[in-house]
Structure 1
Amino acid sequence: METEAPAGGTYGLLLAAGAGRRYGHPKILVPGWLEHAVDALGRGGCDRVLVVTGAARPEIPRGAEEVHCAGWDRGMGVSLRAGLGAVPAGAGRVAIHLVDYPDIGHDVVARILSAAGDDLARAAFDGRPRHPVVVPAAHLAPLLAALTDDDGAAPYLRGQRVRLVECGDLAGGEDVDVPG
């Protein structure tokens, strides 16, 4: 069932600040991943795309804006806080995505945005919750207040009603932690 996007626009927030220690270098530097993720958010329906950088600061693709997180090494929660802090107060919702999900395309983003409306929603792959996650405006301040340095949005989401949007027919939905 399609629902309309909320007033205030949809922001895409790409978290890409980590050092990629298990991968061997920052995943934002893997050829094509940054461009693909920005494209997925933009063509998937986000009005603006913000990229949170940290360990590395490559050139940001056209159509996206950098949000540098100086404290990136303290954990994902710090990067998410920096990114959410750059979203204007009037935003309708935020689609949070991670750079290390290289098989997530614009079709996944479009499906979850279409299904989410004003609800918390996240992509599911064979029933397993993954990314992207859509956070409507009403949840942005409570999510920010709940963030710790180490954790992203998962602890907050566990305490909420979240619409799962099955996308297993479009992608595998696995993050890539090691090369190959």
Structure 2
Amino acid sequence: MPEPVGTVLLAAGRGTRFGANPKLLSPLDGKPLVRHAAEAAVAAGLGPVVAVLGHAGEQIRAALAGLPLTVVENPDYAEGLSTSLRAGLDALPGEITAALVLLGDMPRVGPGLLVRLAEGFRSASVAPSAVVPVRDGRRGNPVLLNRRLLGPGIATLDGDRGAGPLLARRDDVFELPVDEAGVLIDVDTPAALAGLT
């Protein structure tokens, strides 16, 4: 039985560039944007899934209804993504040493990619600090974080940033080449959403 890998689904942001309506509730292929990412996380079957909610929390909770995941409210979501990342990681069981960080606005990331990121972590001879998908020479998302190596640093993150500042200074990040364009596609505007349909 392989070591479980947790998933933190970040679904708390305001999505201000999207306009007045909650971005993560916008329909894509007949379901809310956020549900695509959540279903991929559950279908990967890697370990516990934690969804971090904030803006439009009750509506997003309803959009995730019926999925086997844990919902955590982040009362500090307006202070930026870093607060949601910490809330999600803190909600995972302590024995979970690695966690995928999945953005709620990346509907073209499928379960197969999540499994490959986890396998990259599990098969490394020396545990990396992170596993990052790379397409066309660019780092994308989701990112798998090693909680043991990055734990103290994650506590220092602030503002609207994820783990990028921590990883930029490290030489033990495993870059996993991937073909999926979805690792570089997040939906920030209505035009970006329209481009996916």
Indicate whether 1:111 and 2:116 are aligned. yes
> Cα distance, 1:140 vs. partner?
4.3
In the alignment of these two chains, the number of paired residues is 175
- Which residue of structure 2 aligns with residue 19 of structure 1? 14
Letter in 2 for 1:38: A
Structure 1 unmatched runs, 5+: none
Q: TM-score, normalised on structure 2?
A: 0.81
- Which residue of structure 1 aligns with residue 159 of structure 2? 149
- Which residue of structure 2 aligns with residue 126 of structure 1? 136
- Among residues 59, 69, 75, which one is paired with 2:74 in the alignment? 69
Structure 2 unmatched runs, 5+: none
Q: What is the percent sequence identity of the aligned residues? A: 31
- Which residue of structure 2 aligns with residue 39 of structure 1? 39
Q: Provide the secondary structure at the position in 2 that maps to 1:139.
A: helix
Q: For each residue in 1:3-26, what CA deviation from the matched residue of structure 2 results, as whole angstroms up to 9, or x when unmatched?
A: x844xx211101111111111233
Indicate whether 1:54 and 2:26 are aligned. no
Indicate whether 1:82 and 2:93 are aligned. no
> Cα distance, 1:139 vs. partner?
2.5
Indicate whether 1:164 and 2:169 are aligned. no
**8 Å Cα contact 2:141/2:183 also seen in 1:** no
Q: TM-score, normalised on structure 1?
A: 0.88
> Cα distance, 1:147 vs. partner?
1.0
Q: Provide the secondary structure at the position in 2 that maps to 1:177.
A: coil
Letter in 2 for 1:139: L
Letter in 2 for 1:83: G
Deviating above 6 A after TM superposition, structure 1's stretches of 4 or more consecutive aligned residues are none
RMSD: 1.9
State the alpha-carbon separation in 2 of the partners of residues 176 and 71 from structure 1.
Answer: 22
